[in-house]
Amino acid sequence: MIRKYQNELIVLLAFLFLAGAVLFELFQQHKLESAQENAFGTTIKLEDTSTLKKLWIGNKTISSRLKGIESFVGNSKVKTFKIERNHADIVLSGLSGSELNTVVGKYIASTPVQIKSLNIKRDGELYGLELKCSW
């Protein structure tokens, strides 16, 4: 009986082997694409880190630029202003809209810092700003 269907069994086994090979190839291709995407993302992160490192190491005036915020808004609007070695915690209150825009746009956005937390609260016409950053 097996002799009668020997050729059909060989064709069936060849087809199963072919289907397995195609599935294996698709799996390996998907795995390779995933690894390439991961490598590309890691490369972008390394480039960003390298750029930030050049900015941060070469710039010794970060703390003095952040201290400019305190002199700009005045002592009456400063609740907390701590600049430690490479970290800053700044809490301001009672800022007008233009003062807030100047602080965020001129002092914070143009300074190479990593913002860990930025919280802006509105109280009627005035604003409060909480900033935690490091460099």
Q: Are residues 35 and 66 in the same domain?
A: no
CB-based contacts of 111-119 (< 8 A; 24+ apart in sequence): 111/62, 111/65, 111/66, 112/52, 112/55, 112/56, 112/59, 112/62, 113/62, 113/66, 113/88, 114/52
Q: What is the pTM of this model?
A: 0.57
> Lowest-confidence range among 17-21, 28-32, 59-63, 122-126?
59-63
d(CA 82, CA 73): 15
Q: Are residues 77 and 114 in the same domain?
A: yes
| Enclosing domain of residue 51 | 1-58
Q: Are residues 79 and 123 both part of a single domain?
A: yes
What's the mean pLDDT in 28-51?
Answer: 94
Establish how many alpha carbons lie within 13 A of residue 39's alpha carbon, considering only the half-sphere containing its beta carbon.
Answer: 6
pLDDT digits (tens, 9 = 90+) for 42-60: 999 999 888 878 777 766 7
pLDDT in the model for residue 2: 75
Q: Does 16 share its domain with 41?
A: yes
Please indicate, yes or no, whether residues 116 and 90 belong to a single structural domain of this protein: yes
β-sheet bridge partners, residue 34: none
How many separate domains does the chain show? 2
